[in-house]
Chains A and B, each alone.
Chain A
Amino acid sequence: MKGRQIRIAVLQFPGTNCEYETAAVIEAAGMTADVFRWNRRSSELAGFDGFVIPGGFSYQDRIRAGAVASKKAICAVLVEEAGKGKPILGICNGAQVLVETGLVPGNESRIDMALAHNKVIGKSGYHCDWAFIRNETQEKVGAFSRLFAPNEVIPIPVAHAEGRFVTKNANTLDTMVRNGQIGFRYCTSTGEVLEVFPVNPNGAQLNLAGAYNRAGNVLALMPHPERGAWNRQIPIDLERKGQRRLQGLEYSRMQGPGMKFFLSMRDYILEGSPVQ
């Protein structure tokens, strides 16, 4: 597999607004990114090695966030491609789309989860800030977690009004835990999983920030890894000593923790998908 171009489609719906920075991060991770407009021929999608559904407000969040996009032809192709083991990352609105397609948690494409309105202290609505998340997967499990150490904690921004993972049935989460589908959970800077706002920025059950399908190749992730992919993007008050300022441009341009999601994706593709 080494040496060939890895092609990733970045899906663009009307209302998507993170497609270009997401594409830039994919390119920086050593893959090529093609911003793929929703009304292009969906059969073209089969030629890609992996897919990212970026953030935004697809279709104005009509009905529910992600609901309309999930019914488009390209999402039907996505479900097929997921079945082949290709990696699919949904970020923020993309996570909402994946949940609406039933790909996550992925019980015969039933819609078992939703992303509900945030529960916060203070005025409700959109919340944008940096949070910390902890990797919950075991080594080399999960197409987007492979380069994270077990229990590794990273800073990452959240920006959403509807980011609270909820499930239809009480036992869905238990099943997901048993299956190892819990990808990332909100925590403190030292890795403690506390339910209190703003450690948990939206009130999600289990502090869930990122959930996998059963096979581990599809991740619905509410925080935005593409916005924390270089050191320059990380707020100075999350660094104890203000290193960024003192270490200059070279340090600012070094890859940050968000990049690991995309490097993991590349690693996963290079190793060869389990099913072809």
Chain B
Amino acid sequence: MKYTETIPVSGQTSDAELQALLRKMNIGMSPAEARKVAGILGRDPTRVELFIFDIEWSEHCSYKSSRATLKKYLPTDASNVILGPSEDAGIIKFTTANGREYALVFAHESHNHPSQVLPIEGAATGIGGIVRDVDCMGAHVIAVADALRFGNPSGKNAARTRWIANGVVDGIWQYGNALGVPNLAGDVYFDDSFDDNCLVNVVCLGVVPADRIIRSRVPRQAAEEDYDLILIGKPTDGSGFGGVTFASEIMNDEEKERQLGAVQVHDPFLKNILITRKANKMVWDLAFERGIPIGMKDLGGGGLACASSEICSAGGFGAVIHLDRVHTSMPDMPPEVIACSETQERFIFAVPKEFTPDVLRIYNDIWELPGEANGAGASVIGRTMKDPVFQLLYHGETVCEAPIEEVTGGIRYERQAEPIEFKGTNPPAGEMPDIAGSLEKVLFSLNGCSRYPVYRHYDTEVQGMAVLRPGESDAGVMAPLELTEQCPAGVALSVDGNPFIGEIDPYWGGAAAVAESMRNVVACGAVPRALTDCLCYGNPEKPKAFWQFVRGVRGIADAASRLWQFGTNKEPVPIVSGNVSFYNESALGLAIKPSPIVACVGTMSDYSTAVGHMVTGAGHQLLMVGRRRDEMGGSAYFREVFRVTGTQAVTIDWEQERKDMHGVVQVLRKGLATACHDIADGGCITALAEMLFSHRRAPIFGMTVRLDDTQGLPVDRFLFTETGGFILEIPEENVAAAMSLLSDNGVPSWRIGEVTEQSRIVIKHKNINILDIDIKVLLYGWFHGLEEASL
């Protein structure tokens, strides 16, 4: 086969014939797009060129449907931002330690489609990919988090859903634990709408000295001296060929066989040698020591073609790459597979020619990749050039030659949006259900019960930085610089997104995801400093699905701006990285509930001021922050007790919510509270009960709650509404100081009860016990809730 042969897309062929030709080649682009490629090149494209443009113009790489909306609304800048969403990960300022500035590197992605067809591999490569995104900025990876959405484990796809849920959890631990990166946050939801499309969101956090950031672009010096392009890592194979195209289309049973091949294969062992302060760090240290400017980028979606063109184009350069110099797992692989396969555990470097031998020695000799890791290694595959051309050669023949800015520039589509009117039902008016029974239904439900069966598989302790872990607090808290710098700065990480809100109102779904992730960080005593978002929706070519997306983005944008950063002049909590995942829809046209998922990172100057959510002492007082509102739509109470959705989703009173968060941060910083839990799913009664639960010990405390003022709401609605807020545990001697500090900041608070020594939770309404239940009973059901999902 002659690889320079062109594919006749222009001229004579009809749309239908061209479409058939493209499909036969496994190319996802439309006939019009194929003709556009020919227009750009001024001739018919080669097979390799068609594959490359197909990838670069996929939804996954080009954000062709979403970019305009994201750019228009999302606030991405603030004075603490070092790098916004332009490269593999966002970077914000963190702290100064021993006279050196440190930064946090933050990224967020989804690996939804692959996890649906091959859960272990799909989820594992999700973790692998996001870790590379953070590592390649020169950072030390300190944590991952995962947000998972599964179908109904007792629903129509029960067996498959359980298989997926178990496989995804296995994939996450198998990869992250072996790599040596702690998993410190996450959430899990189950709903029928995820039966055909599970969601696997992965978040990664790293830390880097601010003077040692490595950019994903060829340095300016490449205009003066020769720069080599070096590919490192796993030998390129055929795995993941067509991965981004697959991620940009609807799941289809008949296509499953092809899609299986589009899922990548993970190798955490090899990744461990590359990252976690081993081989890559050796290259960075040497480069900084000698003052050599380098560029580095990970190979993810779109493989070598995508990474090499982007790293060069970002620096304003072109590239010449010899595909036959790529180390591969087998001889004679077709050039389009070498160029576009999504083989895992690879990075590309741009380094000055005279530095190349050192780089090769580090991977091939010092760390012995070829021998220890099945043919992995480092190979010089080409060079940068001043001409802005992306040229690929195979056995001396040019198989791709295109203007590099056209390769990476992508295309744009204007999508139509059409509002959906949500039709939900409210519970019948009438008698109030029994509170104890309702609480049990909520706490024992799949979406309300303990996540211990999931997170007990995740290594939370590796690296020795964990301060607060899942099950102990609302966000994971770590002390990343304590071991190396004796610096007490702390970091809190949370990831959230309640799909039941987005279904009723996609705007509040987006806003609530932001607010909830911030509240979780605040509840630990940290100040929210940056956000990432992963926007998971249906088919953007359908106006209703696209409307949900736009509304979600606007909700996120408003929340990030209006719940501005504590201690700044109204600077937003910036969105520094993110990802859009469309086409989460089955062949039957069933789309997922709109699922914007938001991660928040917060900082604190002293990690020892962090608090968990478990109460700590009998006699301590319970203070509630956040006025309750009757907005029960999508609440666990409506779902689990009445089996209805409701119609009014949770809303946010921007002004008050911001004051509440900023007030609680100050109370925690001053050390006035001993525990804090945010009010979210299941309402304040659920938050109160959870403050008594530990999976590690039998209950040792209880509480008595007095409801004299239910703020104009029926008692059950007061207890179960999911309006945001906080419950603080405060020793009696600090209550006056805490309440006046809150009130000085415009934050109303209510003393609602106290911690007791009997392990019972008692709720009195006007001196009548409306709940009096043994914590052991609640703890047991809550702890075993996931057994229904075989987890």
A residues in contact (CB < 8 Å) with B: 14-18, 20-21, 24-25, 37, 39, 55-57, 59-60, 122-123, 125-130, 157, 159, 189, 224, 226-227, 229, 232-233, 235-238, 240-242, 244-246, 248-249, 251-253
B453 within 8 A of A: yes
B468 within 8 A of A: yes
Select which of B166, B457, B484, B694 is within 8 A of A237 by beta carbon. B694
The reply to whether A127 and B456 contact each other, CB–CB distance below 8 Å, is yes
Chain A residues within an 8 Å CB radius of B700: 240
Quick one: which of B464, B609, B674 has the most chain A CB within 10 A? B464
The reply to whether A15 and B696 contact each other, CB–CB distance below 8 Å, is no
A204 to B505, CA, bound (A): 52
Can you list the 4 inter-chain pairs with the closest CB atoms, starting with the nearest? A17-B180, A242-B616, A21-B464, A60-B269
A229 to B483, CA, bound (A): 11
A24 to B456, CA, bound (A): 26
Using known A-B contacts A189-B697, A237-B694, A242-B617, determine if residue A39 contacts B269 with beta carbons closer than 8 Å: no
Select which of A24, A126, A237, A249 is within 8 A of B608 by beta carbon. A249
Using known A-B contacts A17-B272, A232-B467, A237-B614, determine if residue A242 contacts B675 with beta carbons closer than 8 Å: yes
Quick one: which of A17, A18, A60 has the most chain B CB within 10 A? A17
The reply to whether B472 and A236 contact each other, CB–CB distance below 8 Å, is yes
The reply to whether B272 and A235 contact each other, CB–CB distance below 8 Å, is no
B561 within 8 A of A: no
B612 within 8 A of A: yes
Q: Name which residue of chain A comes closest to B479, CB basis.
A: A232
Chain A residues within an 8 Å CB radius of B395: none
Using known A-B contacts A236-B614, A238-B696, A246-B674, determine if residue A128 contacts B608 with beta carbons closer than 8 Å: no
Chain A residues within an 8 Å CB radius of B464: 21, 24-25, 226-227, 229, 233
Using known A-B contacts A15-B178, A232-B479, determine if residue A157 contacts B696 with beta carbons closer than 8 Å: no
Query: How near does chain B come to A25, taking the closest CB pair, in angstroms?
Result: 8
The reply to whether B453 and A245 contact each other, CB–CB distance below 8 Å, is no
Residue pairs across A and B with CB atoms within 8 Å: the count is 147
8 CB < 8 A contacts A-B: A15-B269, A20-B463, A126-B459, A128-B456, A129-B456, A236-B612, A248-B608, A249-B488
The reply to whether B696 and A237 contact each other, CB–CB distance below 8 Å, is yes
A248 to B734, CA, bound (A): 16
A229 to B166, CA, bound (A): 33
B405 within 8 A of A: no
B373 within 8 A of A: yes
Chain B residues within an 8 Å CB radius of A227: 461-462, 464, 466
Quick one: which of B367, B608, B617, B671 has the most chain A CB within 10 A? B608
Q: Name which residue of chain A comes closest to B373, CB basis.
A: A14
B630 within 8 A of A: no
B273 within 8 A of A: yes
Quick one: which of A16, A21, A241 has the most chain B CB within 10 A? A21
Chain B residues within an 8 Å CB radius of A37: 366
Chain B residues within an 8 Å CB radius of A21: 462-464, 483
Query: How near does chain A come to B421, taking the closest CB pair, in angstroms?
Result: 42
Chain B residues within an 8 Å CB radius of A237: 472, 612, 614, 694, 696-697
Chain B residues within an 8 Å CB radius of A226: 464
A89 to B469, CA, bound (A): 27
B56 within 8 A of A: no
Which residues between 355 and 400 of chain B lie within 8 Å of chain A, taking CB atoms?
A: 366-368, 372-373
The reply to whether A18 and B170 contact each other, CB–CB distance below 8 Å, is no
A122 to B790, CA, bound (A): 8
Chain A residues within an 8 Å CB radius of B467: 232-233
The reply to whether A232 and B461 contact each other, CB–CB distance below 8 Å, is no
B710 within 8 A of A: no
B173 within 8 A of A: yes
Which residues between 260 and 274 of chain B lie within 8 Å of chain A, taking CB atoms?
A: 268-269, 272-273
Q: Name which residue of chain A comes closest to B369, CB basis.
A: A14
Chain B residues within an 8 Å CB radius of A233: 461, 464, 466-467
A262 to B610, CA, bound (A): 28
A241 to B618, CA, bound (A): 9
B177 within 8 A of A: yes
